[in-house]
Structure 1
Amino acid sequence: MSQQVALITGGATGIGKATALKLAAHGIHVVISGRRLDVGQAAVKEIAAGAKAGAKVRFIQNDVADETAVKAMILQIVAEFGRLDMAVNNAGIFNESCTIDQSDTRNFRAVLDTNVLGVYLCMKYEVTQMLAQGNGAIVNITSIAGLNGMPWTGTYAATKHAVVGLTKSSALDHATQGIRINGVAPGGTRTDIIAGHLDGSDENYNEESIAAMHPMNRLGKPEEIADAIYWLLSPESSYVTGHILNVDGGFQAK
């Protein structure tokens, strides 16, 4: 898969950065995007340090909920590299742990904008480019909360269920056009998005309770999720599309 071009949204931290590190180490040109310039620049240095010779690493400051910015990002990638072979739509937020009646409508709008509208907009312009070049692979990051009901996560779970719908429906739309679209549903993973739940500040969840939800009784590592993403992007999964791959320590087997 060397000298191909990949975009990873939310690629400066957590699962996104772990995926960028893996792709770059295999010689793939990697573009990561995110809202924070300083974090993105630091991630580029780290990813580039482990990249295979010849692999380029770029950061584009971007808000995936801004359609103009997303379109410009895809055009910028194509202007430099000539194509977009892979995309990992990973950018997401989790801003509230509570029941629906206790939730804040503004918080829900924010999580919808990033987790649903952001994936939709990225897919819209990624698929447009992939159709033009005749091939491509997309992996959307959903969650165990996108496949199940989960206490105190109704708003977040709603957005991740939506990502599953976007993934499966788009996979059917483009199944004969050289574009494969799949999803990965991680279990609890040690990333920034759940960092606030691991320090005891969240009355509903803590590290022990999150680990206990999984038969393996532990949290996942970003690198373990990245391995699954890499496989779905690779030719080794050439007959796989519309699939949601659980990487969840056995959660879905219950």
Structure 2
Amino acid sequence: MRRSAIVFGGSGGLGAGCVRALARDWPAVAITYRAGRERAEALAASLPETCRGYPVQCDVGDAASVRAAVEETSQVLGPIGCAVFSAGCAIDQPYINQIDEATWREVFETETMGFIRVTAALVPLFRAQGGGNFVAVTSMANTRAIVGDTISAAPKAAIEALCRGIAKEEGRFGIRANSVAPGAMNAGLGEHYIAERMTPEFWESFRKSIPLRRFGLAEDIGEAAAFFASDRASYLTGQTLIVDGGYTL
């Protein structure tokens, strides 16, 4: 039986790029959303006829909501073979000494704990069916520190560590876990920052600091996630693929 995929945070930005890429390889993809049902429905309707897109409401900050989304997806689309985690917080990126404890808690609760909730719901199912894989969208800022980006990078560094731990502990059950680390993106939060923060001169200077001389697209991240999710990556686990146009070199 061919299995389905589920993308947490799949209704927009980088998550939507992952959905579109997965739709070429998977017969069905669940698209989770917290509040933006219309975006999820529009994305589902845009997928090729060979893939069924299915919007499902999910708040990764609530373990019961995650379990319900997994159960609904399994019932409607069949066994889940892959989970992509692209959920995150829409927050400003101040200096570390400007971040209060409540903001730290919000980000870690949504991102790090959100990923933990997803894996807690799916690992038992993956074990029972003889395998499955996780792909987490993280950040290249875990490799090259960026001023003002620590609030985003820190919880994703924990997610990368969790992926390595899952790879080590669950590999004997056929479970893989990898992460894709985007660089400067013209999608998702990156699109917001390019449009509304700093000056055009700053972003042009930033673009020129990237060896490939462009910002990344949602499709760039989607292609990497789809590769990790496929049988083409069946011997890859515990790895992080940096997709940044060479910026961290």
What's the TM-score, normalizing by structure 1?
0.90
Shift of residue 81 of structure 1? 3.0
1:240 aligns with 2:225: no
- Mapping of residues 14-25 of structure 1, within 5 Å: 14-25=13-24
| Distance of aligned partners of 1:4 and 1:207 in 2 relative to their CA distance in 1, 3 Å threshold | farther
Cα distance between partner residues in 1 of 2:235 and 2:104 = 36
Aligned letter for 2:182?
A: P
Cα distance between partner residues in 2 of 1:170 and 1:82 = 23
| SS of alignment partner, residue 32 of structure 1 | strand
Shift of residue 47 of structure 1? 3.3
Q: Residue 228 of structure 1 aligns with which residue?
A: 224
Shift of residue 98 of structure 1? 1.7
1:145 aligns with 2:144: no
Aligned residues: 248
| SS of alignment partner, residue 88 of structure 1 | strand
Report sequence identity in percent: 29
Q: 1:182·1:244 contact (CA, 8 Å) conserved in 2?
A: yes
Shift of residue 213 of structure 1? 4.3
Aligned letter for 1:171?
A: A
| Distance of aligned partners of 1:85 and 1:16 in 2 relative to their CA distance in 1, 3 Å threshold | same
Q: Runs of 5+ in structure 1 lacking a partner?
A: none
Shift of residue 225 of structure 1? 1.1
What's the TM-score, normalizing by structure 2?
0.91
1:118 aligns with 2:117: no
Aligned letter for 1:29?
A: A
| Distance of aligned partners of 1:27 and 1:180 in 2 relative to their CA distance in 1, 3 Å threshold | closer
Q: 2:44·2:54 contact (CA, 8 Å) conserved in 1?
A: no
Q: 1:185·1:247 contact (CA, 8 Å) conserved in 2?
A: yes
Cα distance between partner residues in 2 of 1:27 and 1:150 = 36
Shift of residue 46 of structure 1? 3.3
Deviation sequence 1:112-166 (CA, Å, 0-9, x none): 1111111111111121211111111110111112233221122222111111111
Q: Which moved more, 1:25-34 or 1:222-231?
A: 25-34
Q: 2:180·2:242 contact (CA, 8 Å) conserved in 1?
A: yes
Cα distance between partner residues in 1 of 2:49 and 2:194 = 34
Q: 2:187·2:216 contact (CA, 8 Å) conserved in 1?
A: no
Deviation sequence 1:26-80 (CA, Å, 0-9, x none): 35201011212xx333333333333233x32111111101111111111111222
Q: Runs of 5+ in structure 2 lacking a partner?
A: none
Once superposed, what is the RMSD of the aligned Cα atoms?
Answer: 2.0
Aligned letter for 1:11?
A: G
| Relative contact order, higher structure (CA 8 A, sep 6+) | 2
